[in-house]
Every structure is written in C-alpha cells, then in structure tokens.
Amino acid sequence: MKHLSLIVMVLIGLQLQAQDTICTYFTGKDVYEFDYKMDTVMTYDLQTTKYYEVKVGYRQVLCMDFSDHKSRIRKVIVTWPDGTQATENLDSKDNVYFTGMGPLTIQVGRPRIMIRL
C-alpha cells in the first residue's frame, strides 16, 4: 500500500510541472523579447522581414503583446511539430494573445491596415 501511494504521488508530481512563459512585445517594426516573471528586456530587434519567427520550446507558452497604436491586423502562422499549420489575422491595436504549450513555431507578420466591409 505504501508503494502504491508513493507511485501515485510521483505521477501527480510529474503532471504538475510548471510551464515557462516567454513574452514578445510587438510595436510597429520594433520587437522586444522579455522575461515574463522578471519584466526585463532580453533582446530587441527590428522586424525587417515579412514574418518575425518565434520558437516556443517544450512546455513553454508564448505571450504576444501587440501594441501598434492604430487599427491594424497581423497575420500569425502557427506551425506544430508534425508540420500542420494554422493561420489567423489578429487585431494588433493594444491586444495580448497567448499560445498553447509548445513546441511550436510562430511567425508574426508586419502590421497591415484593417479593412472592414
């Protein structure tokens, strides 16, 4: 009975492993990557290509903060390890989005003008 209790506790402990949250802040062409817990900027980059790529590691969650200050949209492409993709056009005027747990590859497009019909 003691062994069964120990096995159950170990299995529960394995399931409760903490996730790591990484954060990327997009404002215009500026891209900041920072530590979610410490609120410290780790890298700064300019988005010079059509898509900015962010790798989300195993058991990580990505927080994307879009602050384009005008009504804009950004095309976001999510790629899973098996190669499947999903494409979304996200509102990028002061919005925050979270991904599911990785591993994932996220490609974020440049801000584009939002056209409403």
> Mean pLDDT of successive 10-residue segments in the chain (117 residues)?
42 51 90 80 91 92 89 92 93 89 92 76
Measure the CA–CA gap between 73 and 112, rounded to whole angstroms. 5
pLDDT value for 74: 92
pLDDT value for 82: 92
Domain assignment of residue 70, yes or no:
yes
Task: Please tell me what DSSP assigns to residue 117.
Answer: -
Q: Could you tell me the CATH number of the domain that includes residue 109?
A: 2.60.40
pLDDT value for 40: 78
pLDDT value for 34: 84
Task: Tell which residue, 19, 44, 31, has the closest CA to residue 107.
Answer: 31
What's the pTM? 0.76
Phi and psi at 36, nearest 5°, equal -65, -40
Contact assessment for residue 66 and residue 93, using Cβ atoms and an 8 Å cutoff: yes
What is the rounded average pLDDT for all residues in the chain? Answer: 81
Domain assignment of residue 95, yes or no:
yes
- Could you tell me the residue range of the domain that residue 42 belongs to? 19-113
pLDDT value for 56: 92
Domain assignment of residue 8, yes or no:
no
Domain assignment of residue 12, yes or no:
no
Domain assignment of residue 69, yes or no:
yes
Task: Tell which residue, 90, 85, 89, 45, has the closest CA to residue 66.
Answer: 90
Number of separate domains in the chain: 1
pLDDT value for 4: 40
